[in-house]
Amino acid sequence: MARSSAWLSLSLSFLVLFNGCFGRRQSFHGQESQNEKCQLSQIHAIRPTGNIPAEGGTTEFWDPNHEQFQCGGAYAFRHIIQPNGLFLPSYTSAPLVAYVLQGSGEYGIIVPGCAETYQQSEKGSEILDKYQKIRYYEKGDIIVIPASAVHWFYNQNREPTILVVLQRANPVSFFLAGKPGSSHQGQREQGRQQQELMTERLGYDGNILAGFDVQIVKDALNTDRETAEKIIGGNARGRGHIVIVQQLPSRPEQRRQPGRQGGGSSNALEETLCTATFTQNIDNRERADIYDSRAGRLTTLNSFTLPALSFVRLSAARGFLNKNWGLVPQWSMNAHSFLYVTKGSALIQIVNQRGDTILNEQVQEGQLFLVPQNFAVVKQAGDEGFEWVEFSTNENAMYNTFSGRRSTLAGMPADIIAASYDLSKSQAQNLKDNMSSLWFYQASGSSPSSSSSSGRSAFI
Amino acid sequence: MARSSAWLSLSLSFLVLFNGCFGRRQSFHGQESQNEKCQLSQIHAIRPTGNIPAEGGTTEFWDPNHEQFQCGGAYAFRHIIQPNGLFLPSYTSAPLVAYVLQGSGEYGIIVPGCAETYQQSEKGSEILDKYQKIRYYEKGDIIVIPASAVHWFYNQNREPTILVVLQRANPVSFFLAGKPGSSHQGQREQGRQQQELMTERLGYDGNILAGFDVQIVKDALNTDRETAEKIIGGNARGRGHIVIVQQLPSRPEQRRQPGRQGGGSSNALEETLCTATFTQNIDNRERADIYDSRAGRLTTLNSFTLPALSFVRLSAARGFLNKNWGLVPQWSMNAHSFLYVTKGSALIQIVNQRGDTILNEQVQEGQLFLVPQNFAVVKQAGDEGFEWVEFSTNENAMYNTFSGRRSTLAGMPADIIAASYDLSKSQAQNLKDNMSSLWFYQASGSSPSSSSSSGRSAFI
Amino acid sequence: MARSSAWLSLSLSFLVLFNGCFGRRQSFHGQESQNEKCQLSQIHAIRPTGNIPAEGGTTEFWDPNHEQFQCGGAYAFRHIIQPNGLFLPSYTSAPLVAYVLQGSGEYGIIVPGCAETYQQSEKGSEILDKYQKIRYYEKGDIIVIPASAVHWFYNQNREPTILVVLQRANPVSFFLAGKPGSSHQGQREQGRQQQELMTERLGYDGNILAGFDVQIVKDALNTDRETAEKIIGGNARGRGHIVIVQQLPSRPEQRRQPGRQGGGSSNALEETLCTATFTQNIDNRERADIYDSRAGRLTTLNSFTLPALSFVRLSAARGFLNKNWGLVPQWSMNAHSFLYVTKGSALIQIVNQRGDTILNEQVQEGQLFLVPQNFAVVKQAGDEGFEWVEFSTNENAMYNTFSGRRSTLAGMPADIIAASYDLSKSQAQNLKDNMSSLWFYQASGSSPSSSSSSGRSAFI
């Protein structure tokens, strides 16, 4: 039952993908403009190549000139926000998706035109503060932030927050406060140069209000000169884009109700940005789309399950593979995917159209690599198992498998398979009949077995 | 009341923008492809750099290689059509939006597949001419012309017509008549060279029918050789793309009914191209979206108020600021904007992501400048006040303000503001509480006051 | 009657085009990015420039670096599949449209998520094979294949199959079987070099499964080592991408019902990919949109008549002109078109914005040429008549005519025509009154006559 409804929703989603505006356009856009940048002779899983330190944390970046990011049309970052660290309010020219690798805290997205519906009065005081909804994040959350929308993060807890972020290409950040700049903590000469270039390129050294005359800021904000000078960053130099804030009072928590943890509304038209959910947890075992008690599980998040993803034309997935289990060979039909290893290791093979193995290595925790659109990929967990988060450049990424019960091979007549691979008809039929698994396979050496999968998924 | 419904429609329009095809795609398209061209170290307000003269008027152009136009992905022109001047029938590869700076007259847009529903019989004659609707323009109108649609303009009045035009990048014009060419009136040597290059680049020297054999034109039009020869431009050389027509009889006027002056239908699906409104006046004070008797007013035109704008993915706005009043700092979330100064002057400051002031000057009547997407801008009227028309590269341009009652700062909790700017909690709360204005601020020196704004607008 | 409803549907389709997502985006995309590549000083009708031979056929290609393909953003191929030839299963990074110039056979498109609803049990055997729908093609069919969808062709008949294919730019093929490679049959040295480059560039030398470890393929497919080795192409070298298959049993035919031959459903939302029609015949005389017993006929296929075309953002048309008849001068408003001459010859003139005749030749059977968007074109059949198939880079290509009863000239007031062409008012009125034909004209020398056209069409 669960299985058949999964396939129903899958073919529906495939349909919508092809009929919908974005899937289609995205798909072509990707192909037309990025094909030339995707003639990669090899890919390697890599760690961040530099960082931009600040008083209250640091932003690690992968070199955006690396050909993986050129091909994928996206950049990756890892923000580390220390306890009491405030990632200053900013907006970016490109939308982003973040995965909370560690920690928890609060954040805000200011949506123009939405009312300040939350209010707070300080104890024993007449002061009443009204503001837009404050949101909360915790480990395992995917956070979606549309382009040009002001946002901030505050880590009011004891553990550092780590965000793994994928952002469409050429992002520029516009900070509304501070004089971010870098604090050059313990960088070697070469690293410092790259750091300065990236700081400048990304806009991490600017406060856009700093470019206005202080008199204009004073007049426009109807405030006094001292405040205006602070706003344009007078005494913020050297603290960087994440500052330590000791005095922030703990807010009476306006926690998300469990019922609003996403997945509820699949009607993007009914969802208004003012009340939209920008966060959803994908670590939770119960949310898995594909679950096999022996092999592992997969959880996908797309614009059907988190409508805000359609604002950013990105999607995300989370995977867990147990020791010696693999995911059957597959390819993405409409998206480039970036995989970040959160735990364990795996043997990854990626093959291009010529049959060249352009990645063939044991990837490790903390590494990131690209699986280009249309390229074939296989993942096989190492001895400690394999856990990863995956970002795709389409809000409804679609996968096609080579083998498995619902695969391409399963859909072909046995005589065409026989003719294609120079097999006898009965060999071909056997091949089809033995593909009992949907998604997982067991590496030999371990006892062979068919895995049973269930659930709803965009992996087909 | 008016105010709250304004915000309702605003947040609705914001929603639609993010959900709609075009806002979203446009936004990404702009970011992805134009970011690199928008690393501008400075911007200047500039006047046209050359012109293409003709018998019945002239077309002034801004140098399309100028980095402002490269970043904005659009070109600007100023057509001057003398009395009795006919801008010859042509179509262009890119859509355009025109503002009627001066004059009035008639124009036609030939929409394929629409019936010739207008007819005219000459006095005392049996001749019956049927044709598609003739349209009228007057000072203050915005005119929308879709790509590849044949159009012509005729100035039957005494005052020269001046059209300020914004067109998406790399426009090429295909003239159906004349042998436009340039007439080289009083150009210096260097200007002449640039003029010839632009004439060629824009297609102002061609009549596309001139490339066919006269015999084929004669056969295809089922006419005689003399007419065919005239059609391919036999004796039109040197008159250029705007010709003087003395004999054009004045047509019994088929004026637009006031009720059709736009704003009526917001349902693009019900509006057919055959009956579509391509014109709407934005000078009219009653149409202002934001009006403040002391400070000034703003009128915006987007695809909700003029559905034809969705065909061209452009929008327009008109602004008036009184002496010493300014518009609060803001940025555009999804569009590049080109501002043309129609009267007076203003101090403009534009700030990039690094906090660099890339434009900081007193702009004057007749000048044009770009405000790049995401860049912060402030406008403060000079002694004569400031009037401008604004073209944006999104059919629903969205703005976000830094200060003001519905601004980004207003949406943030006071403690985050305090932490961001190193203010005390009460300073931060005061800052929020004092932002009583929505859009306007008064430059100091003049008596401070809160301005009240009302109306509907896309400025938030 | 037929005529007026034709115009109704035309203006409707024009509307939808401008309102719809794809028409609009496509149109702009084309203009913005390809204008610079379309500054062609001349165009020639050309034959294929190279070929990739294989055991069971050959793929002829036009040089993709040729400026026509750069401007049009598409590539053209001609696949020849010999009797018993199997074009191996593959998918491509760009969607394609194919015209069956000769032959018939079967093909499959494997759609992920669709059920294997067809089954076959061999005579006297217990073996039951289930697979996805098998489809049939015959001469005159247009076949649509979405990007990234696995497909194969098998020619089980006696005549070679010839497919003329248009594919969006930079297509890369991913073969699932064989070790295609080229077999270098009778190529001269220079041709061989180009052939190798193209083979590599297009991915015709690869089997993507060949890049995986045989052990992984064995495990993932739950099969034995021998089969796994065959699958990764162990003994397929040198047979190429089309192989001869002698043993393929003839399948009990599951022919398309005539009622499903397309045109039925115009509601893309109701059509699911699993049951979608990917084929429609456009040779059939009864399907003509425009038919004139003396002049010829035109049949267009767009996303309204074959919804699958909206998946690929391409459309097709088929034209027949009798000796000495021509199609009136026209231009495409939103698409580049590639014309392949299937029979006879014609004088073609193509004119750019400057009035330069960039193509002016007698095109012949087997040649292909581009008509760039917005450029004016006239076609006049030679002594043997003229037959062609046309591929356009928009799923709803729109044409505008200069002359004819529903043309641009017909829509303009006579006095504007008179003023534009320096004609008298009565000459202008005569010109309009004599344009009695809609689409066709008769070359002089032959007896002049008005042609009557009827039917539904996207040519306006």
Confidence of residue B33 (pLDDT cuts 50, 70, 90): very low
Give dist(CA C88, CA A426) in Å, integer: 19
Residues of C in contact with A353 (CB under 8 A): 172-175, 203, 206, 208
In the prediction, which pLDDT does B196 show?
Answer: 85
Coil, helix or strand at residue B8: helix
Q: Which two tokens stand for residue A260?
A: 């609003």
Contact residues on chain A for B353, CB-CB shorter than 8 A: 172-175, 203, 206, 208
Spatial CB neighbours of B29, under 8 Å, sequence gap ≥ 6: none
| Number of alpha carbons in the 13 Å side-chain half-sphere of residue C43 | 33
**Measured distance CA(C235)–CA(A215) in Å, rounded:** 79
Give C47-74 pLDDT, tens digit per residue: 999 999 999 999 999 998 899 999 999 9
Q: B129 and C349 in contact by Cβ < 8 A? A: no
- Interface residue of B3, B11, B18 to substitute, partner A, most A CBs within 10 Å: B18
Mean pLDDT value of segment B253-276: 48
The answer to whether A249 and A416 have CB atoms below 8 angstroms apart is no
pLDDT digits (tens, 9 = 90+) for B195-234: 888 888 888 888 999 999 999 999 999 999 999 999 988 6
DSSP string, A95-122: -EEEEEEE-EEEEEEE-TT----EEEE-
**Cβ-based contacts of A272 with chain B (< 8 Å):** 11-12, 15
**What residues pair up with C401 in beta bridges, in sequence order?**
C330
User: Distance between CA B185 and CA B242 in Å, rounded?
Assistant: 14
The secondary element (H helix, E strand) that includes residue C346 is strand C337-351
Q: Out of C7, C31, C427, whose CB is closest to B93?
A: C31
Spell out which residues of chain A touch residue C94, defining contact as CB-CB under 8 Å.
28, 31-32
Give me the mean pLDDT over the B169-185 stretch. Answer: 75
- Say if the Cβ atoms of B331 and A174 lie within 8 Å: yes
Write down the pLDDT at residue A339: 98
- Closest Cβ opposite residue C408 in set B94, B110, B227: B110
In chain B, what residues touch A168 (CB-CB under 8 Å)? Answer: 28, 31-32
Angle, to 10 degrees, between the axis of helix A414-421 and the axis of helix A425-434? 110
| List of residues 6+ apart from B357 with CB closer than 8 A | A211, A212, B349, B350, B351
Q: What are B71's two structure tokens? A: 């970043």
Q: Hey, is the C-beta of B421 within 8 angstroms of any chain A C-beta?
A: yes
Per-residue pLDDT at B65 exceeds 50? yes
Measured in angstroms, the CA of A227 and the nearest CA of chain B are apart by 7
∠ CA(C411), CA(C412), CA(C414), 5° rounding? 125
**Hey, is A31 helix, strand or coil?**
helix
Which chain A positions have a beta carbon within 8 Å of C198's beta carbon? none
Residue B459 has pLDDT above 60, yes or no: no
Of B354, B410, B436, the CB nearest to A203: B354
Distance of alpha carbon A277 from alpha carbon A145, whole angstroms: 11
Q: Is there a contact between B355 and A177 if contact means CB atoms under 8 Å apart?
A: no
- The pLDDT, as a whole number, for residue C297 is 95
- What is the pLDDT, as a whole number, of residue C198? 86
| pLDDT exceeds 90 at position C249 | no
Using 50, 70 and 90 to split pLDDT, how confident is the model at C121?
low
Give the relative orientation of helices B414-421 and B425-434 as an angle to the nearest 10 degrees. 110
A348 or C191: whose pLDDT is higher? A348
Alpha carbon distance A289, A298 (integer Å): 6
CB atoms within 10 A of CB B28: 21
Q: Which of A219, A239, A267, A311 to mutate to test the interface with B (most CBs of B within 10 A)?
A: A219
Which of the residue ranges A9-23, B376-390, C92-106, C114-128 would you say has the lowest mean pLDDT?
A9-23
- B254 — contact with chain C (CB < 8 Å)? no
Q: What is the mean pLDDT of residues A355-371?
A: 97
Q: What is the mean pLDDT of residues B323-330?
A: 95
Strands (E), C55-160: 57-61, 74-81, 85-92, 96-102, 104-110, 118-121, 128-131, 135-138, 141-145, 150-154
Q: Partners for B (CB, 8 Å, 3+ pairs)? A: A, C
Residues of A in contact with B410 (CB under 8 A): 116, 131
Q: What is the pLDDT of residues C158-169, one digit of tens each?
A: 999 999 999 998
Q: Is B412 on the interface with A (CB under 8 A)?
A: yes
Q: With 90 as the cut, is the pLDDT of residue C265 above it?
A: no
Question: Which of the listed ranges A275-284, A410-419, C371-380 does the model predict with the highest average pLDDT?
Answer: C371-380
B301 pairs with which residues across the strands? B316
Angle of helix A2-19 relative to helix A21-34, nearest 10 degrees? 70
Number of other residues whose CB lies within 10 A of the CB of residue B458:
26
Please tell me the distance from the alpha carbon of residue C111 to that of residue C101, in angstroms, as a whole number.
Answer: 26
Confidence of residue A235 (pLDDT cuts 50, 70, 90): low
- The token duo for A393 is 């450049």
Strands A399-401 and A368-371: unpaired
- φ/ψ of A383, rounded to 5, equals -65, -30
Taking the C-alpha atoms of residue A433 and residue A431, their distance in angstroms, rounded to an integer, is: 6
- The confidence score (pLDDT) of residue B18 equals 36
Query: Closest to A211 (Cβ–Cβ): which among B355, B431, B435?
Result: B355
Higher pLDDT, A404 or C189: A404
What are the residues whose beta carbons fall under 8 Å from the beta carbon of B354, sequence distance 6 or more? A200, A203, A205, A206
Band (A251; pLDDT cuts 50, 70, 90) = low
- Report residue B453's pLDDT band, with 50, 70 and 90 as the boundaries: very low
Q: How many CB pairs under 8 A join B and C?
A: 243
- Out of C406, C413, C444, the one facing B215 most closely (by C-beta) is C444
Position A50 pLDDT exceeds 90:
yes
d(CA C131, CA A412) in angstroms, rounded, equals 5
Q: Compute CA A102 distance to the chain's CA centroid, rounded to the nearest angstrom.
A: 14
Any A CB within 8 A of B381 CB? no
Mean pLDDT lowest among A169-183, A342-356, B103-117, C258-272: C258-272
Q: Which whole number is the average pLDDT over B269-296?
A: 84
Pairing of strands B161-168, B96-102: antiparallel
- Name the H helices within C332-401: none
Q: For A141, what's the count of Cα atoms within 13 Å in the CB-facing half-sphere?
A: 25
* Chain B interface, best mutation among C3, C360, C420, by max B CB count within 10 A: C420
Chains that touch A (3 or more CB pairs under 8 A): B, C
Q: What is the mean pLDDT of residues B6-35?
A: 36
Q: Which of B353, B395, B403 is CA-nearest to residue B378?
A: B403
For position C195, what pLDDT does the model report?
84
Out of B56-70, B370-384, C1-15, least confident range:
C1-15
What would the mean pLDDT of B296-316 be, rounded to a whole number? 94
d(CA C118, CA C132) in angstroms, rounded, equals 6
C181-213: per-residue pLDDT in tens? Answer: 544 454 556 667 888 888 888 888 889 999 999
Reply yes or no on whether the pLDDT at B155 is more than 80.
Answer: yes
Chain C residue numbers with beta carbons less than 8 Å from the beta carbon of B213 are 349
Domains in chain A with CATH codes: 50-275 (2.60.120.10), 282-404 (2.60.120.10)
Please report the ipTM that was assigned to this predicted complex.
Answer: 0.85
Chain B CB contacts of C408 below 8 Å: 89, 110, 112, 150, 176
pLDDT for B347: 97
What length does chain C have?
460
Q: Does C121 touch chain A (CB under 8 A)?
A: no
